[in-house]
Structure 1
Amino acid sequence: MAAGFAQWGNDLYAGRRSYDIVGRRRAFYAVSAVLVLISAILLIKPGLNPGIEFRGGSEFVVSGIEGDRDQQLAIDTVQSVAPEESPEVTNLGEDSLRIQVAELTDDEVKEVGDALQTAFDVTDDDITTQFVGPTWGKDVSQKAITGIIVFLLFVSVVMALYFRNWRMALAALVALAHDLIITVGIYAGVGWEVTPATVIGFLTILGYSIYDTVVVFDKVRENTADTLDQTRFTYAEKANLAVNQTLVRSINTSVVALLPVAAILFVGAFVLGAGTLRDIALALFVGMLVGTYSSIFLATPFEVTLREREPKIKAHTAKVLAARAGVSDPDTAALAGAGVRSAAGQLRPGEHLGQAAQPKRRKTGR
């Protein structure tokens, strides 16, 4: 199997095998649009569930619990004092529970603390309480939004300068927005609390997504450097070759990154019940998965859509299609419906797409 996968990767890189990802970009646009729409609906209803760090409230930590940490017992204990509350209970370490509720009065805090002490048979020193004010939560929210905005602005400038092409920067931002909306939407659908760890996860997946996109774009730039100097292949075909050449690398990178994150998610959510682990792991898992999809099926196709609007690229594409259709007038070829056919049939004997689409290098001698 490993040998077959390696051969498949070699065929993709050499151009002997190719998937028309760019040519079928409308289908991938539709898939992304549906995912974004569903995520937007989930963000409206049920919406995000902000943690105590963002909404404010009272927190109790019960330590030194012997035996099973019964989360339902903690919920019932709090509701015996404040029936209208819906406590959020998570495990901490090996013998502690954290209970978070909305803001309680001083008397209610005292009553809940005493009730928890009795329910879990611990001492007064094992119960700690704290209040998180809404002002602090608002400050955290503002910093999170500021961090995302600064990140996106920085990425835009760096991408535009590195590739000397604002279209690649715009395509990368579209992919980032796509990844962020879908990740946050799925998080809202799951219903887990949004904590500072969750926000860190969101920022991390933005970095992962842009990294994968830059690698693909770098190959696109290399392959398309001589597009206007030849008439055998269109810009879209050369960009599609770049996506195919980086496909195996993207898959391998994603699998290696997702396996440990999936392990953390499983252990944190279902074994330890640790909120911090599961919060950041869910954001990372979904974000990396969606980021891999966008870097392959969205970023480059969208960049090609933007580039094909340029007069030079548009004229060159028409010229290539006219040559394939066997007519001298590019407009006639376009009107005749001469679609972009596979370039494999246009190659010289013994030549394949990977050889023909690579930029020509000048021979140097001493």
Structure 2
Amino acid sequence: MNSKRIAAFVATVVIALGVVVATMPFLLSSIRLGLDLKGGFEILYVAEPLEGQGEVTHDALVRTAQSLERRANQTGVEEPDIVVEGKNRIRVRIAGVTDEAKVREILKKPVQLTFRSAEGCKDAGDYCKIELLGTDFKEGAAKVVYDQLNRPVVEIEVKDKAKFADVTRRLVGKPLAIYLNDELLSAPVVQQELTDGRAQITGSYTYEEAKQLADTINLGALPLKLTEKYTQSVGATLGQRSLEQTLTAGVVGSILILVFMLAVYRLPGIVAAVSLIVYTWALLGLFVLMNATMTLPGIAAFVLGMGMAVDANIITYERIREEIRSGKSLLSSLKAGSRQSLRTILDANLTTVLAAAVLYYVGGAGAIKGFSLTLILSIAVSMLSNVLFSRFLLYLLIRSNLWKKPEHFGVRASEITDLKAADSEKRKSEARRLVRFDFVRHRNRFFAGSLAITALGVATLAVFGFNYGVDFKAGTSLDVVVGKPVDKAKAVQLLETAIGERLKAQPTIGGVNGERVSARFDRVLSSEEINRVKDAFAKEYGTNVAVEENTVDPVIARELGRNAMIAVAIASVGIMLYVAVRFEWRFALAAIVALLHDAFIVISVFSLFRLEVNLPFVAAVLTIIGYSINDTIVIFDRIRENLRFAKLRSFDDLANLVNRSVWQTMARSINTVLTVLFASVMLLILGSESIRLFSLAMTVGLVAGAYSSVCIASSIWILLKKGSIGRSPAAKPETP
């Protein structure tokens, strides 16, 4: 026994867990919650000139965004997220709003710049007479210059010189106050009559202050009209409930994963449990360090990421157990298993990162970006915690010589092959016993089953089509949650009274106790109509009413639909090219067929049962495309490895090689899917209703992916490969 190794292991674990316990409360309190967890709204505005003239420039958009941020800050909200997108769009995300209607009303008002005097005002110090409007100034003419004393001043120019001359003549020696809406920015004194239409605003300005005033005047010279094209709104109560439900699902899913790893892998399972705890801490720390926003789909990605994080451990541990069964020592098995599994882990994770990156850049909505960002970060962190850290701990345990029995690694003594055995036939018979079922022989049955499912899916799509949500169909969706069960007839009455028309689609009643009303409208409801809906339910069921709103303009709906198809296409082509480069074109073609097979099964299920197709559904499909190929890559990597030592004289030789490769990786394929399924199913059962359909799509896709990896992908590859048997140079003789 090596006491130093044991002491190093114990010290490492104690220090790591001690740091986690000591800092976790701070990390949890520092996480920036998104609007779907904290309550708030996200709006995509399209900007156009207020008076229909002029051009929307990037500078005008930036100045308008800055004005929106100032107005949002004045309402008392924390950290508004306001960004310019494209040529004429501004996206606003504000969390923690107490009076959403008031804030939205303030934001949508056009910017009004006025120059006012005190003439005719009753109160001293009041500027009530509007002398000039922002539109009286030339667009973009305001700029910062320096006077003779090298002080920053603001130079302006008006369109009507005569009007400006009249104003300045009357106000010589008097202040001409500058207002943005009702906010006083400055009150410079008119020094003289100005007849050339130009003036300089002087004062004790810093350059930044002068630049801000010039930008404000330019903003007022071309005020922009902002039209809401996409809106997501979540009440604070509903956000808190979603947070609690999803965290519960995450905790239960994590416990199931830990118990599974301990039960199956014994000693390495303990290492995996410690690594998973460190992984969770590191990912939270990275979120705090980046000041990233945690959204509801982001938590879902976090929970799913826990299942994916242990995949690297499973792939490594299964390879180590395989080396132990071959008769190698524990240390030799650790070194060989770690070396052989690293390439597979990298290939499998990079394909998921590729799909998540495509989703991040094409997804659009903040919640979807939050999901994809969390998924990317979780994979990056898991590569460090569950590969480097986990292997380091396992190395310390094995070198301690305290645990020498194969049973500590989940390997029975009867499973171990004697490397010194001279009877090669015995080893070959053991290899043959590994193949418990001939997948290649029954490939036509698998193909027939998949074709039948595909035909059913095509028929379903032809008859039913998709039940598109407002993300792709346009309109408004409302989810109203009250504190008691809701009668459907009463809900219909309240909705129809509030919007003043009959409902074209009946609302659905959901929630744990039937307290959630979900209604879909094929037109965009105004903010006044939505407020009337909330007031109607509050009057009927009490004040504890929370509303979640999703409104999408037809233009944005078409754009989201187009982006969804582009994202799926880019991810599929990217993965196919990656597999082609890392393996060969036959592997790539077989992998992409299996991926499309998985995606189509999910699509068919949603079409058959009339489940809503929205942006989270697209996120689920892309995640399935990126993740379900992991098992396929594990199998293909083993086929490629076995090909190096195989001499293929006939199709039977190739079939035996494929069958053996599938069975050699069967435990890996099943266990990696199971860990993610634990997380996905818990999100489906215990998670927020807002992500329930996403979780269902993930669950169906994971099962379909496991089936296609084992039964479809390798069988397609063998059909593509069989024509080349005998044409390649002879390799080394096959060894079992």
Confirm or deny a common fold (TM above 0.5): yes
TM-score of the pair, normalised by structure 1: 0.73
Matched with 1:24 is 442
Answer yes or no: is 1:297 the counterpart of 2:706: no
What is the letter of the counterpart of residue 242 of structure 1?
Answer: S
Match of 2:695 in 1: 281
Show CA shifts across 1:281-301 (max 9, x none).
Answer: 111000000000000000001
Q: Does the CA contact (< 8 Å) of 1:57 and 1:131 recur in 2?
A: yes
Alignment pair present for 1:158 and 2:578? yes
1:144 maps to which residue? Answer: 564
Matches of 2:546 and 2:445, distance apart in 1: 58
Determine if contact 1:160/1:166 at 8 Å carries over to the other structure.
Answer: yes
Which of the pair has more CA radius of gyration? Answer: 2
Judged with a 3 Å threshold, the aligned counterparts in structure 2 of structure 1 residues 13 and 87 are, in CA distance, closer, same or farther, namely farther
Q: What CA distance in whole angstroms lies between the structure 2 residues aligned with 1:115 and 1:358?
A: 76
- The alignment partner of 2:704 has SS state of helix
CA contact 1:187–1:282 (8 Å) conserved in 2: no
Match of 2:614 in 1: 195
Task: Name stretches of at least 5 consecutive residues in structure 2 with no aligned partner.
Answer: 1-262, 265-406, 417-428
Shift of 1:263: 2.0
- 1:135 is matched with 555
CA contact (8 A) 2:476 2:549 kept: yes
Deviation at 1:266, TM superposition (A): 2.0
CA distance in 2, matches of 1:127, 1:252: 40
Cα distance in 2 for partners of 1:13, 1:143 equals: 52
Which of 484, 492, 502 is matched with 1:75 structurally?
492
CA distance in 2, matches of 1:129, 1:177: 33
The normalised TM-score by structure 2 is 0.38
* Shift in Å, 1:223: 1.1
Match in the other structure for 2:676: 257
Report the CA distance between 1:248 and its aligned residue. Answer: 1.8
SS of the residue corresponding to residue 36 of structure 1 reads helix
Note the C-alpha offset of 1:128: 7.8
Q: Which amino acid aligns with 2:441?
A: G
CA contact (8 A) 2:595 2:628 kept: yes
Query: How far apart in 1 are the matches of 2:711 and 2:614?
Result: 31
- Contact 1:13-1:244 at 8 Å conserved across structures: no
1:241 to 660, 677, 697: 660
**In structure 2, do the counterparts of structure 1 residues 182 and 241 end up closer, same or farther at CA, with 3 Å as the change threshold?**
same
1:56 and 2:509 correspond: no
Give the direction of change, closer, same or farther, for the CA distance of 1:200–1:231 in structure 2 (3 Å limit). closer
Structure 1 residues 8-64: Cα deviation after superposition (integer angstroms, max 9, x where no partner): x9699944231210122111111111111112222222221111121111344546x
Deviation (angstroms), 1:71: 5.6
Larger proportion of helix: 1
1:320-339 to structure 2, matched below 5 A, reads none
Deviations 1:63-111 (A, max 9, x none): 6x33335566433432454324215457689987553322167696676
- Tell me which of the two structures has the higher relative contact order, counting C-alpha pairs closer than 8 angstroms and 6 or more residues apart: 1
Mark the CA change 1:257 to 1:196 in structure 2 (over 3 Å): closer, same or farther. Answer: same
Q: 1:135 to 1:97 in 2, by over 3 A?
A: same
Q: After superposition, what is the alpha-carbon deviation per residue over 1:134-172, rounded to whole angstroms, capped at 9, x for unaligned?
A: 111111111111111111111111111111x20010000
Q: 1:156 is matched by which residue type in structure 2?
A: M
Provide, for residues 316-339 of structure 1, a one-character-per-residue CA deviation record: whole Å limited to 9, x for no partner. Answer: 9xxxxxxxxxxxxxxxxxxxxxxx
Change (3 A) 1:113 1:26: same
Give the distance between the partners of 1:41 and 1:315, measured in 2 at CA.
Answer: 47
| One-letter identity of the residue aligned with 1:291 | G
Classify the secondary structure of the residue corresponding to 1:20. Answer: coil
AA aligned opposite 2:467:
N
Q: Is the 8 A contact 2:646 2:735 kept in 1?
A: no
Q: Quick one: which amino acid aligns to residue 178 of structure 1?
A: H
Cα RMSD after superposing both structures: 3.7
Aligned residue number for residue 128 of structure 2: none
Q: Which runs of structure 2 are paired with 1:199-218 in the superposition (5 Å)?
A: 199-218=618-637
The percentage of aligned residue pairs carrying the same residue is 26
1:169 aligns with 2:583: no
User: 1:326 aligns to what?
Assistant: none
Q: Distance in 1 between matches of 2:517 and 2:651?
A: 67
Of stretches 235-244 and 105-114 in structure 1, the one that deviates more from structure 2 is 105-114
Number of aligned residues: 310
Question: Do the aligned residues in 2 keep the contact of 1:13 with 1:246 (CA within 8 Å)?
Answer: no
- Determine if contact 1:82/1:108 at 8 Å carries over to the other structure: no
Q: Distance in 1 between matches of 2:548 and 2:574?
A: 42
> Offset at 1:243?
0.7
Contact persistence 1:88–1:99 (CA under 8 A): yes
CA separation of 1:55 and 1:6: change in aligned 2, threshold 3 A:
farther
Q: Which amino acid aligns with 1:120?
A: Y
Q: 2:685 aligns with which of 242, 245, 266?
A: 266
- Are 2:648 and 2:726, in contact at CA under 8 Å, matched by a contact in 1? no
CA distance in 1, matches of 2:491, 2:727: 66
In structure 1, what is the Cα distance between the partners aligned to 2:518 and 2:654? 57
TM superposition shift of 1:190: 2.0
Call closer, same or farther: CA 1:313–1:92 in 2, change over 3 Å.
farther
